[in-house]
Structure 1
Amino acid sequence: MRRIYFDHSATTPVLPEVVEAMLPCFTQYFGNASEPHLPGREAKKLLEASRETVARAIGAHSEEIIFTSGGTESDNLALKGVAEALSKKGNHIITSSIEHPAIGNTCKYLQRRGFEITYVPVDKYAIVDPDHVAAAITDRTI
């Protein structure tokens, strides 16, 4: 029986071309890019070249590119960063009850820090009604 994988939003199989391109990183350039020793400097050089490549591909500056360890870290960084940066404008965040735990737990953390969190409902198909989002917006929503 042929197996069908339905969780591509969490992780995906790696294309053989990508594995081949990454092999030197696993065997040759595996140093900690934050360390000053030779393997670290080599890894940092490769990391910075990758950052430049990504920046060029999306029309950004390399200093705008942040690599994280995965989705949870990215969610935390984005949500906490925006909340902190806009905290003078407002402290109200709108989300839903079906968000990934990375979002839900970060919202709970922000709530303990004084942010107001509104959870909009979803329908039986797990769809958020845009009208519910619009109704939840206040002058403190960020």
Structure 2
Amino acid sequence: MKDSKITLTEIEDERKAYVIKEYPSGFLLLADKQIVPVMCIFRAKIEVEDITDLTDEEYSNFARDFREALIYIKSKLLQDKNFVRLNWDKLDNELKKLHMWIIPRYKWEGDELSMPLWTHNMKERWEKAKSPSEELIQSFKN
């Protein structure tokens, strides 16, 4: 594996991302479009496209840090009485770099929105999505 790691500056330029926490193997970002509040991305520092491209040690580090990111986000969201759970997955074909989506689910989504996000009218939801507010960004940096 080549030692090619992305820097904080590069990650912020890449997707106009909002970096909220750095880990040894990756960055926790608030997604640039918030389809649901606190939708995040965990982006690997190592420049690979797929999790299968990691060595065993890199995978172990990535999995550990991703789990820590999930724990961090969940601890923040437990304060919201409408928070139900965190879903996570590797989605998106646009960014050809290893990243995982973290998608909070809420009671207010109701039955219609209780299905996976990709079963919704995503084009419409993406167009309506907003960038995270400065207040939201700052609340996760504390």
TM-score, structure 2 as length reference: 0.31
TM-score, structure 1 as length reference: 0.31
Higher strand share: 2
Higher helix share: 1
Between 1 and 2, higher relative CO (CA 8 Å, sep ≥ 6) is seen in: 2
Q: Select the structure of larger CA radius of gyration.
A: 1
